[in-house]
Structure 1
Amino acid sequence: MEAYDILQAVERQVQSIVLATVIYVEGHAYRKQGAMMLLMADGSSVGSISPGCLEADLSGYVPLVGESQKPQMIEYDMRPADDFGWGETIGCGGLIRILLEPVTGELLVHLLATKAALDRGEAMQLSRTFVQGYSDIQYRSCFVVGAVSADGLSSPSEYVYTFRPKPRVVVFGANQDAIPLARLAAGSGFRVVIADWRDAYCTAERFPGMETVVAFPGALLEKLKLTAEDYVVVMSHQFDKDAEFVRGAVKSSLRYLGIMGSRTRSEKLLDGVERPDWVHYPVGLNIGSEGPVENAISIVAELISDKRGVRASGGRNSSAASGRNIQGCRPW
């Protein structure tokens, strides 16, 4: 579950809730540093930070955190090979420190302000400074305007996390094979926009909960207002329409542009057009996929790989590197 979904849940909740955040991981863990979930007073939860091995134990701390209105740090050390206390389904084998915070007062104000900022398309960084152990925390938020400090423990007494708007995936072509792609992309934390010139294809029944934009390629490009953070997948399967859309899209500086179809067809679409390194064809990772569902898996896998800054070979893209630069954070 993405951080934005957690903020949505915070905004909608009326009962007492506790935010659980993984702030330190050593060794193997199911979720990495920065993973979050909400624990509700009624025993329900939103999100996860393990395959289910920690959630039940964490829920036992909710009444204590709720009554004290003080944060707590919980540590799970599952590194010893002979420790069978967690049972056979632990799924984790490292040291994990989880911060539990009552979502009230100052923290609630910062989280709601962050949600509002993300809805405006602005990224926001939340810093926690631990004053007395972990029981007293000072919060500070700032708008992200450039490179900022890397997420995580910047010092033993400070933890920072950057909340970013959901990355947008524009799918050009609302054919039947776009349906599993759109669903899988939405379920993987992307904001999905379906773009097509056929209004009969862009319906809520076919793409529930997703945005749709209906116009011919030239007008679509004006309506979409593509940005350097956008992912675009071209798959209308109509050569002239794909060509017009692709030729317009490459004029923008995108994060990713993937073209469905053979390499020969894609080369013809791009004939005479400059091809930046963010243009991918055939779209998707080469996993030998066949059919709409498997193709959707290969495409979304490539989108996730790019979003995380990981090459298919397991290496890191240069865009993934980040260093400390507090000048990139504008005070809130």
Structure 2
Amino acid sequence: MKEISAILKSFEKAEKKGKKTALATVVHVEGSSYRRPGARMLITEDGELTGAISGGCLEGDALRKALSAIVQQQNKLVTYDTTDEDDAKLGIQLGCNGVVHILFEPIVTDQIFNPIRLLQELANSNEDSVMVTLFSLDQLQQPGTSLLYRNGLSRTALTAALQSDLVVAAEAALQNKSSDFRTFQYDDQAVTGFIEFIPAPLELVIAGAGNDVQPLVDITSVLGWHTTVVDGRASHATAQRFVKADRVLVAKPDEVLKKTGTGEHTFFVLMTHNYNYDLALLKQLIIQNCAYIGVLGPKKKLQRMLDELSSDGVVPDEKQLALIHGPVGLDIGAETAEEIAVSIVAEINTVLRRRSGTSLKDKEYGIHSSLSG
């Protein structure tokens, strides 16, 4: 979502200056590639690039293709084949081993559902969403970014019949929380639909405003996570101490959830270094529908907390226990506050992406999850 937000900011600046723009989207990949389907980049007519569609090797050629799309005011699908060992043939020195298909769409602002408009609506939502991009590997016609769907609402200029088919696919993607490819009929031709599942933005609540929280907020800011810092100490929970946090709150344990809310996209980390504060908040969180509860400190501390909660009649079931991560973080040998912050962020990302957190060299298959048409 951070990349999309950056693209939208750049588009707003370009529009104010009267610059023409195009959106490049990776829509299909065969084999290895630095970026996967859904990666985006905004290109202005004077060569400003925001976002990324590769590790930097495609961007130069992509600028030329984008300018062509802008001049012709026509969507274009460009294929980069990196399976040929003769890199000089492409002239872009990719160094990967795959085929990457990138769709270039000139942004026409008077089209009510142009790609940027759909991305704007997506960014304004705090719900899981699905973006559908239609393209063809065989035909000249490239419909492009065509539909945004969330919570029973679709935004599109497509015909009712095609919209109905796309909504069925979008609902399945929302249910499965995963992206997919489907084939549809568009103007009597078969086109591929990239059904892209885009989760709601991550909400991170850090209970604690000590010095060790500062590097954690610095990292989550870089990642674009919406971060709230909350503590009972007004002297510690200040905007001056946490300039990169989205919100800084002063609250007692029984006030925290009223001010922050909970939900399936909300992650909590308890690191106040105040046992009673963390215990009181954990007691409330156990029965909430949140995604993750990290508890800083040794395992015996968490066990003591669970024992006390059990004595109070609060006994978490297996599902609730699975949400609690204590000691918080991955085992990377962290010692300093900065290293601990990396450890915590890494673990949250494994939960968010449904990964194991193991070394990539031990993976039997590719780095990325498989997604092919």
Q: Same fold (TM over 0.5)?
A: yes
Q: What CA distance in whole angstroms lies between the structure 2 residues aligned with 1:87 and 1:129?
A: 28
Whether 1:165 aligns to 2:200 is yes
- The match for 1:221 among 246, 254, 257 is 257
Count of residues in correspondence between the two structures: 318
In 2 relative to 1, CA 10–166 (structure 1 residues): closer, same or farther, beyond 3 Å? Answer: farther
User: What secondary structure is seen at the aligned counterpart in 1 of 2:322?
Assistant: coil
Q: Does the Cα contact within 8 Å between 1:119 and 1:165 map onto a contact in 2? A: no
Q: What CA distance in whole angstroms lies between the structure 2 residues aligned with 1:182 and 1:86?
A: 42
Between stretches 206-215 and 228-237, larger displacement belongs to 206-215
- The match for 2:280 among 244, 251, 255 is 244
Q: What CA distance in whole angstroms lies between the structure 1 residues aligned with 2:328 and 2:145?
A: 46
Structure 1 partner of 2:128:
123
**1:257-293 CA-partner distances (Å, limit 9, x unpaired):** 1111100111112222415211111111111111111
Post-superposition shift, 1:127? 1.9
- The match for 2:140 among 120, 133, 136 is 133
Structure 1 partner of 2:292:
256
Structure 1 partner of 2:224:
189
Percent identity, please.
28
User: What secondary structure is seen at the aligned counterpart in 1 of 2:26?
Assistant: strand
Structure 1 length-normalised TM: 0.85
Q: What CA distance in whole angstroms lies between the structure 1 residues aligned with 2:84 and 2:125?
A: 46
Between stretches 45-54 and 306-315, larger displacement belongs to 306-315
Structure 2 partner of 1:151:
179
Between stretches 269-278 and 165-174, larger displacement belongs to 269-278
Structure 2 partner of 1:142:
149
Post-superposition shift, 1:255? 0.6
Q: What CA distance in whole angstroms lies between the structure 2 residues aligned with 1:158 and 1:240?
A: 52
Structure 1 partner of 2:160:
none
| Structure 2 unmatched ranges of 5 or more | 153-170, 184-190, 364-368
- The match for 2:239 among 175, 181, 204 is 204
The structure with more radius of gyration: 2
Letter in 2 for 1:78: T
Q: What CA distance in whole angstroms lies between the structure 2 residues aligned with 1:227 and 1:39?
A: 36
Between stretches 173-182 and 196-205, larger displacement belongs to 196-205
Between stretches 248-257 and 119-128, larger displacement belongs to 119-128
Post-superposition shift, 1:301? 0.8
User: What secondary structure is seen at the aligned counterpart in 2 of 1:57?
Assistant: helix
Structure 1 partner of 2:4:
3
Letter in 2 for 1:303: I
Q: What CA distance in whole angstroms lies between the structure 2 residues aligned with 1:54 and 1:79?
A: 15
Q: Does the Cα contact within 8 Å between 1:11 and 1:112 map onto a contact in 2? A: no
- Runs of 4 or more, structure 1, over 6 Å off, are 86-89
In 2 relative to 1, CA 254–154 (structure 1 residues): closer, same or farther, beyond 3 Å? Answer: same
Whether 1:267 aligns to 2:303 is yes
Structure 2 length-normalised TM: 0.77
**1:37-64 CA-partner distances (Å, limit 9, x unpaired):** 1112221111112221111111112321
In 2 relative to 1, CA 219–138 (structure 1 residues): closer, same or farther, beyond 3 Å? Answer: closer
Q: Does the Cα contact within 8 Å between 2:103 and 2:144 map onto a contact in 1? A: no
Q: What CA distance in whole angstroms lies between the structure 1 residues aligned with 2:199 and 2:111?
A: 20
Q: What CA distance in whole angstroms lies between the structure 2 residues aligned with 1:248 and 1:9?
A: 41
Q: Does the Cα contact within 8 Å between 2:10 and 2:50 map onto a contact in 1? A: yes
Q: What CA distance in whole angstroms lies between the structure 2 residues aligned with 1:60 and 1:33?
A: 21
Q: What CA distance in whole angstroms lies between the structure 2 residues aligned with 1:88 and 1:113?
A: 32
In 2 relative to 1, CA 303–9 (structure 1 residues): closer, same or farther, beyond 3 Å? Answer: farther
Q: What CA distance in whole angstroms lies between the structure 2 residues aligned with 1:85 and 1:201?
A: 59
User: What secondary structure is seen at the aligned counterpart in 1 of 2:241?
Assistant: coil
Q: What CA distance in whole angstroms lies between the structure 2 residues aligned with 1:30 and 1:117?
A: 24
Letter in 2 for 1:123: D
Higher RCO (C-alpha 8 Å, min separation 6): 1
- The match for 1:23 among 27, 44, 50 is 27
Q: What CA distance in whole angstroms lies between the structure 2 residues aligned with 1:85 and 1:290?
A: 49
User: What secondary structure is seen at the aligned counterpart in 2 of 1:193?
Assistant: strand
User: What secondary structure is seen at the aligned counterpart in 1 of 2:204?
Assistant: strand
